[in-house]
Amino acid sequence: MALDQSALLELLAQLKLTDVPDRIRVATETLYQQLIDAEATAFIGAAPFERSDARTAQRNGSRPRTLTTTAGDLNLSIPKLRQGSFFPALLERRRRVDQALYAVVMEAYLHGVSTRKVDDLVKALGADTGISKSEVSRICADLDQEIGQFRNRDLSALAYPYVFLDATYCKARVNHRVVSQAVVVAFGVAADGRREVLGFDVGDSENEAFWTEFLRTLKARGLGGVRLVISDAHSGLKKAIGVVFQGASWQRCRVHFMRNVLAVVPRASQEMVASIIRTALLTPTENRASTAN
């Protein structure tokens, strides 16, 4: 893997002719290429043009690969084989040095930033070649995979006696139209007080059928031991809870309880009533903390 003397002298000469940022890029590119060639040699069992009984494959040219890093865009060559395939572990997903750049692209994607603006952002971060629409889609496919793994993970390892359910509406583009979509979420609270997002889903509306299907997927993933479900008083949701979590109690959440009470209280008295209700709803721990303050 080490560079021989002539290669080092050649690299030194190149570095002297370039400015500082490009020197770093050239040095990084050379190091990466040497690591790739060394891994290919170990994989094949022989160096280029070497005769060896340990050889398992034959080289068949190379293919170019551009790697975006904080040092700049590195132009690398990946050895090709006559039979089988080789891809360096150095460039495998999740092991690239530009994961911070990936994170920026994903964050921009989540916030609805256009592909053109993402391209400008990537260039501003030092990637001279920018980023294409297809590359943004490929990067964000990793995000979809992570979300899928999270949504389908097993829940049977820990019991959640308390489950909170809620929903909100947001605008989404469906079949080239912007429509309102219901986003439902379930939070679980374990006996030791640990809280965790159990699952979420998106649908056209939070009707009974949608809630029932959502809660059944939670049970299918191992959710059990539910003793109390806290939510708003949506009729479809309450029916779904009764069907899926038979034997569990139901309780209206604080927010909707407060909202329903204040709806029948004169405006002039709402602040005073809200203060009384909040104090009454405090848990013993919250009450002690409030008194201490």
Domains and CATH numbers, the chain: 5-147 (no CATH), 155-249 (3.30.420.10), 253-293 (no CATH)
Specify the residue for token string 């294409």: 132
Task: List the one residue out of 110, 230, 116 whose CA is nearest residue 170.
Answer: 110
User: Of 142, 138, 108, 143, nearest to 125 (Cα)?
Assistant: 108
pLDDT tens for each residue of 34-57: 888 888 888 888 888 788 777 888
| pLDDT given at position 66 | 81
Range in 87-101, 197-211, 221-235, 270-284 with the lowest mean pLDDT: 87-101
- Name the CA radius of gyration of the chain, rounded: 29
In the numeric block, which tokens belong to residue 139? 């990067």
Which residue, 149, 147, 163, is CA-closest to 215? 163
The per-residue pLDDT for 289 is 46
pLDDT digits (tens, 9 = 90+) for 226-266: 999 999 888 888 999 999 999 899 988 776 666 676 677 78
Q: Which residue has the higher pLDDT, 258 or 191?
A: 191
- CA gap 287, 293 in Å, rounded: 10
Residue 287: pLDDT band (50, 70, 90) is very low
Coil, helix or strand at residue 22:
helix
Structural contact between residues 74 and 67, judged by C-beta atoms closer than 8 angstroms = yes
How is 129-172 classified by DSSP, letter by letter?
Answer: T---HHHHHHHHHHHHHHHHHHHT---TTS--SEEEEEEEEEEE
pLDDT in tens, 69-127: 766 778 888 998 888 888 887 776 544 445 666 677 777 776 777 777 777 776 666 55
Distance of CA 11 to the CA centre of its chain: 40
Exposure class string for 244-262: b at 16+ Cβ within 10 A, else e: bbeebeeeebeeeebeeeb
In which element (H, E) is residue 183 found?
A: strand 177-189
pLDDT of residue 107: 73
Q: Which residue has the higher pLDDT, 182 or 143?
A: 182
Tens-place pLDDT, residues 125-180:
655 556 666 767 777 776 777 778 888 889 998 899 999 998 888 887 777 788 88
Map residue 209 onto helix, strand or coil: helix
